Amino acid sequence: MTAVEALDYGSVFVFALTGALVASRAQLDLVGFVFVACLTAVGGGTVRDVILDRAVFWVAEPIFVAVASVAAIFVFLTAHLLESRLRAIFWLDALALAVAVPAGVAAALGMGALWPVVVIMGIATGCFGGLMRDVVCNEVPLVLKQGELYVTCALLGAVTALALIWIGQPLAVALVGCAIVTFALRGGSLAFGWRLPVYKSRPPRR
């Protein structure tokens, strides 16, 4: 199993959990759970693979869809046991982001992409699944909430990976560094309220 495949499995499973939890908040049926979970789980990786013109990972290996479906069924049976599903969504999403961004970085590096493309693929892999999930379930997307540290976490995580490779570190170390920075920033925003400055417009002068 390659590094990209291992990271894809991890991100698919955790992102599927978040998708199913969002489906539980929307009170969907089991089919809805599976649909939203699968959409969330494979959305970012699909965008990445299409742009990089590589075989879409879950088409080449449909087992990824099975993994997402199992996660959805698990949440369908157990979501009612959680004290706060919203809190669980936030933290699981942070974990999934920290796994998906290195997956996107590794995939782009494996295709010989230039550094701007590597960064963008890390962001796309980490962010697009959650964006699709929130839009479909009529939630305000996390990536668009005012001042929310989300895309920034993916950006800095991907840049960290490139920086580590540039100074001579092996790929495995770079991917671990990427995951740590991504999760630390996203976790910090959840735990300590870290935010970006938000543009505040002024009324036009007459």
- Determine the pLDDT at residue 155: 96
Q: What is the DSSP string of 110-165?
A: HTT--HHHHHHHHHHHHHHHHHHHHHHTT---GGGSTTBSSHHHHHHHHHHHHHHH
| Cα–Cα distance measured from residue 36 to residue 132, given in angstroms and rounded to the nearest whole number | 9
pLDDT for 202 = 67
For the entire predicted model, the pTM comes to: 0.91
Residues 6+ apart with CB under 8 A from 171: 3, 106, 109, 165
Neighbour count for residue 110 (Cβ, 10 Å): 14
Instruction: Give the phi and the psi of residue 43 in degrees, each rounded to 5.
Output: -60, -50
In sequence order, the 6+-apart residues with CB closer than 8 A to the CB of 153 are 97, 101, 181, 182, 183, 185, 186, 189
Per domain, the residue ranges of the chain are 3-192
- pLDDT, tens digit only, all 206 positions of the chain: 777 788 889 999 999 999 999 999 999 999 999 999 999 999 999 999 999 999 999 999 999 999 999 999 999 999 988 888 889 999 999 999 999 999 999 999 999 999 999 999 999 999 999 999 999 988 888 888 777 889 999 999 999 999 999 999 999 999 999 999 999 999 999 999 888 887 776 666 65
CA distance 169 to 109: 14
Gap between the Cα atoms of 102 and 123, Å rounded? 9
Dihedral angle of Cα 51, 38, 153, 199, to the nearest 10 degrees: 90
What pLDDT is stored for residue 206 in this prediction?
Answer: 59
pLDDT for res 201: 64
pLDDT of amino acid 131: 93
- Supply the pLDDT for residue 4: 76
